[in-house]
Structure 1
């Protein structure tokens, strides 16, 4: 067993203290929002220092949030966008990555150059808006799913991962009469599950947090995702529809706690997803790392 010197032990202690400090600094904003959402509204407004525990524990803000029909509708819409959008993303990215990872595909290097080119140069918002409008997808759910069907960055990661699948497995499958569809579904994808899990995480988090495309393409409030409603509450200070029967003198304090409660409601589901996919994260990214 190697014995560490005083300098090495001092460095380890300093490194551990620094990591703990960074973790606390990163975690405290979320803890503050959680405690504020569970606190008495007047206590939150009057608080001027650190909030280390809920002051006057109450669930009134959450009751008002879940009683708001806009929140419930936006939650359902977001789940639809996340599930359907991620499914389309995985299917389209897998198909593109598989085709570009095969050795006998003509012009695949040229196609990859054009795909990488789009990562640095794009047409801009106005041509994209006109395209979505000409395709008849404005003010529809498709406007939030189809234009983002494939991410060039994620396609490159998945393509590199597919290239790591042994060629002998593909040749054996073809000798057994398997088609490209069968090889992709029963050989390549099962051997690339860590990368697929990372893609689900990337695409799912994107759809869950996305609000700008909805603000651009949607006019019907019944189609708004949760993050767009959250933006209205936080930026436009639109909490009046939730306060309802609360006395006007108490509307400002309860409005503050409603904002915090809405943030927690919008954040917790995606936080619960991370532990299930975390074990695949590093492995999936490393397998799909871009290499020569």
Structure 2
């Protein structure tokens, strides 16, 4: 009897992660598609940076949009913005709203999440139900405005900070993370005489840095990018945040004068350069913070969403 033939007559597909590896044509098409998508995203961003850094003469020659500056880097647009006036004031206002709002929001969200995660707390279930209901139903624009008006917060920065200081989604994520903390550690601390506040401050928060960082980034981005609340509640332009000023000068096309930038009689850079510089200043803070928090996303959001 002849030995069995172990030769494979047909080439077996290579498996990657249990799935057959795509062919060369499919990979080329995917690479081309992703390259086009990346180019569509990167091209405007590069143009914004280049226009804000190009010399006034080059911006005028290019018709207002410079892809790559050839005359060198010119910072006159940024100097004009940071010399004082409406734009500089709006940057300070946005910084105040973001820092104070994020601090208050984190404190309220973490304390509420901790209270909801402790079984046996008085009013635990009704309060959790109230949080879930607020997650499903929006109070509406007119009732929100009337509440702000009744509390006397119109034309105050607190009208932009307080109404959005607690997000039901973030409370649920933080609560789920707190529920997943090791019970043995908390019980050991209770035996040693630790109060509930000490458990929260010295054990709960240090063990939950990932979810606190993620939720803090959510709040910070929301406060920094918010303009609709300021548009509704702030009538004094000196209290406008940067995003509302950006909307006024860039989206609505209002011309920026020397009085808006705090400058004197000297010639201003082209309007396009100033607009792109304002746009870059509104983007850069988030771009600087995001890389430091990015590594916490998977652990903070996914773990907090799965456990509990």
Into which bin does the TM-score normalised by the smaller protein fall?
0.7 to 0.9
Specify which of 239, 242, 254 is matched with residue 237 of structure 1: 254
Task: Look up the SS of the partner of 2:235 in the other structure.
Answer: coil
Distance 1:45 1:118, change over 3 A: farther
Alignment partners' CA distance in 2, 1:97 and 1:22: 39
1:114 offset after TM fit, Å?
2.3
| Match in the other structure for 2:90 | 74
Normalising by structure 1, we get a TM-score of 0.87
| Match in the other structure for 1:190 | 206
| Match in the other structure for 1:54 | 69
Q: Does 1:125 align with 2:141?
A: yes
Number of matched pairs: 287
| Match in the other structure for 2:222 | 206
Distance 1:101 1:151, change over 3 A: same
Q: Does 1:8 align with 2:22?
A: yes
Alpha-carbon contact 1:98-1:162 (below 8 Å) kept: yes
Alpha-carbon contact 1:41-1:256 (below 8 Å) kept: no
Alignment partners' CA distance in 2, 1:148 and 1:49: 38
Alpha-carbon contact 2:59-2:65 (below 8 Å) kept: no
Q: Does 1:22 align with 2:37?
A: yes
Task: Look up the SS of the partner of 2:162 in the other structure.
Answer: coil
Q: Does 1:33 align with 2:52?
A: no
Specify which of 113, 137, 140 is matched with residue 97 of structure 1: 113
Q: Deviations over 1:15-55 (max 9, x none)?
A: 45544443332222211100111224464456489954124
Q: In structure 2, list runs of 5 or more residues that go unmatched.
A: 1-12
Normalising by structure 2, we get a TM-score of 0.83
Higher helix share: 1
Task: Look up the SS of the partner of 2:68 in the other structure.
Answer: coil
Structure index of larger Rg: 2
Q: In structure 1, list runs of 5 or more residues that go unmatched.
A: none
Alignment partners' CA distance in 1, 2:62 and 2:88: 30
Alignment partners' CA distance in 2, 1:99 and 1:63: 48
| Match in the other structure for 2:294 | 278
Task: Look up the SS of the partner of 1:103 in the other structure.
Answer: coil
